[in-house]
Chain A
Amino acid sequence: MILRTTYVVLSLWMLGAVWCPVSVVEAGQWDIGGQATLETRYFPYSPEFANQKKITVSPSGTLEPEFVYEWNDGSERLTLTPFVRLDADDKRRTHADLREFNWLHLGSSWDLSVGVGKVFWGVTESVHLVDIINQTDAVEDITGEEKLGQPMVNVNIEQPWGTVSLFALPGFRTRTFTSDNARLHGPFPIDTAHPTYDSSKKERHIDWAARWTQIFGDMDISISHFQGTSREPRLLPQNRGGQTVFVPHYDQIGQTGLELQLTTENTLWKAEGMTRTGHGKRFYAGVGGFEHTFYGIAESNVDIGFLLEYLYDGRDSRFAPPSIADNDIFGGFRIAMNDTQATAVLFGGSFDHHTKAAFINFEAERRLTDHMKLEFNSRFFVNVPTTDSVALIRSDDFLELKLNWFF
């Protein structure tokens, strides 16, 4: 209800801005842009499970326009960013979302945002342990970097002793899942239409969060707390007429997070830690490491950066959603050519030294024109035993070619 009211109010506001921009307090300014993509995934191996269609080449496309209206010399802003994907093979991956739909007021040392938005917390590269405001749009990619829009009221207050951010989060977004017969899906159906909740208020439970962040010279520190519905579901098996179906269950959790970054000459030292209640006994998870960059290799313009991070997660998977990074080492490098086309390459690998499983990620991109960019991504699973949490998608390695058009 709150969600719906917010949408209606903002919609009317936006319509007002469109139809009578002159009558607004002060004439404002429109900025319309966005992005469209065409992409093709190639799955070199046959699917592992009988329920999965034998898809080898899978095309897909997205459209994400952005409408921004600013007035009062930029201190008031409306942002609307709808997103839609059409996928040739996966009905659930064909989906639409409001990535952003909010009103922002910028005060002198504070700001207020009301509506659907996106917030990122964190410093590390391999996993984002602390980041919790937005739900993962898991059909987009398996990296967890893509997020669904989250309804929120957010206030940020800047003080000499730090920045305090307060969030009220009405309207829970359930995680997206690939179709039961799609690639990147396990052997069992997931009933995304009937999720269950700890809270009797279900998806209408109002979550809250707060974060303090401060800069001490070369050190950036943030401490945060979230209380509410877990963004990570547990998948609970149900027997429906002899068929096993998994139902996403969203627990009530409390999660406290810490982010640290020390910025020295060519090296960024990064660490994140979090502790959570509500998924069995209180557990702790942490990730830490560094990123070191060599600039101008051999008198050229090329930069090479090396990344190394260690990941630990102490959760008990009987009571908590499984983590794919419980005891892993992540290593990678990033090459920036620093040419006119901004050619760049990223290679990363996670290695679980208990299960010996590895996840390899390779990305390359190059600008073609002022409005076009070509991207190549590949995700590979190596030596994954059935006991590892990524085992369900271990035969769904893929290569992806993506053409981005920016307007």
Chain B
Amino acid sequence: MESIGFWKQRSWFVAVIGLSALMAAPVWANAADGGVTDGKARGLEIATEAEQRDFGFGDYRVELKMTLRNKHKQETNRRMRNTTKEQANDGDKTMIVFDNPRDVKGTAFLSHTHKVGADDQWLFLPALKRVKRISSSNKSGPFMGSEFAFEDISSQEIEKYTYNYVRDETFNGRDCFVVERFPTNPKSGYHRQMVWYDKAEFRISKVDFYDRKNELLKTLIYNNYNQYLGKYWRADLMDMVNHQTGKSTSLVFSGYQFAIGTTDMDFTSNRLKNAR
């Protein structure tokens, strides 16, 4: 439990306000027509539009069930609750409380993510009533023994990748942009990722992860999108398959509540001691 990394199930990104003003809808009409825009600029535009469309959600809480499957299809479950508050000019603040397995019940995790620089993270260990500030530099390690790495579930700020638009493609019956992205952090476990955004809503449908040797490692598929507050899309089911080990992890989200009225004072290391 020492090094639980930042956890966040949001399928995409917090907005970069500076860039968002440039991303007016007409640009999209252009890009969708397959214009002559340079691939890098277009990749960034797509990622930025996705982020922009999710900006302004405010805060929410959600329950998560994580099912880990080994290559013999034996299952193990984890349960946790997540509360997230958006920040206007920085990464989100998130608190996660674990319910299952029972030995980690009551363990709580707080993260202040940042667009630039390392995230701030604290862990509360209920048996000792101890709050520990922990390092956020573990990017490629597994989260709770699952197929999700810390970097897969942490704040996906625009600045954390460089982008390249590759092609248009249909996935699961939806027209998609396929964008290649390269992690800017040298500690990333990936050489690159391929991301499928649907053209209609700029939701991520699928991500292929390539390891440092540029071999296909994992595929993540987003299912059962629902819209909240008439604007913000969240996938209720995320399936991650590791092609190299045959293991997989499913994440089921339930009971989304938006506009729950949290303040920054609910996301302090002092408040972490009383998280439930």
Contacts and interface: CB of A to CB of B under 8 A. Distances in A.
Contact of B135 (A68, A268, A339, A373): A268
A33 B105 contact: yes
Most chain A CB neighbours (cut-off 10 Å) among B103, B104, B134: B103
Interface stretch (B31-39, B51-59, B136-144): B136-144
B274 A111 contact: yes
Contacts, number: 111
Q: How large is the interface on B (under 10, 10 to 19, 20 to 34, 35 or more residues)?
A: 35 or more
A261 B103 contact: no
B137 A295 contact: yes
Interface in B129-153: 129-135, 137-142, 145
A45 B134 CA distance: 39
Contact of A404 (B103, B139, B142, B276): B103
A406 to B, nearest CB: 3
A31 B135 contact: no
A31 B274 contact: no
B95 to A, nearest CB: 13
B137 A266 contact: yes
A70 interface: yes
Contact of A339 (B106, B145, B189): B145
A158 B3 CA distance: 26
Nearest to A261: B133
Given A265-B118, A296-B141, A338-B142, A158 B130 contact: no
Interface in B111-137: 118, 120, 128-135, 137
B269 interface: yes
B140 A296 contact: yes
Main secondary structure of the interface of B (DSSP, over half): loop
A163 B268 contact: yes
B276 A370 contact: no
Contact of B141 (A111, A334, A338): A338
Given A338-B142, A340-B76, A120 B129 contact: yes
A400 to B, nearest CB: 16
A158 B270 contact: yes
A118 B142 contact: no
Contacts of B102: 33, 370-371, 406-407
Contacts of A213: 270
Contacts of B3: 293, 295, 303, 336
A145 B128 CA distance: 8
Contacts of A266: 135, 137
A373 B103 contact: yes
Among A156, A268, A295, A373: residue with most chain B CB under 10 A:
A295
B138 A68 contact: no
Contacts of B139: 295
A295 B100 CA distance: 25
Contact of A68 (B77, B133, B142, B276): B276
Given A163-B268, A339-B145, A342-B1, A263 B133 contact: yes
A296 B189 contact: yes
Interface of A: 31, 33, 68, 70, 74, 77, 104, 106, 108-109, 111, 118-120, 122-123, 145, 156, 158, 163, 165, 213, 215, 218, 220, 261, 263-268, 293, 295-296, 301, 303, 305, 334, 336, 338-342, 344, 367, 369-371, 373, 404, 406-407
23 contacts: A33-B102, A111-B270, A120-B131, A122-B130, A123-B132, A163-B268, A218-B118, A263-B135, A267-B135, A293-B138, A295-B139, A295-B140, A296-B140, A296-B189, A303-B141, A340-B145, A342-B103, A370-B77, A370-B101, A371-B101, A371-B102, A406-B101, A407-B102
Given A338-B145, A339-B145, 13 more contacts: A33-B106, A106-B271, A108-B263, A158-B268, A295-B3, A295-B137, A295-B140, A295-B141, A301-B142, A305-B2, A367-B101, A369-B101, A370-B77
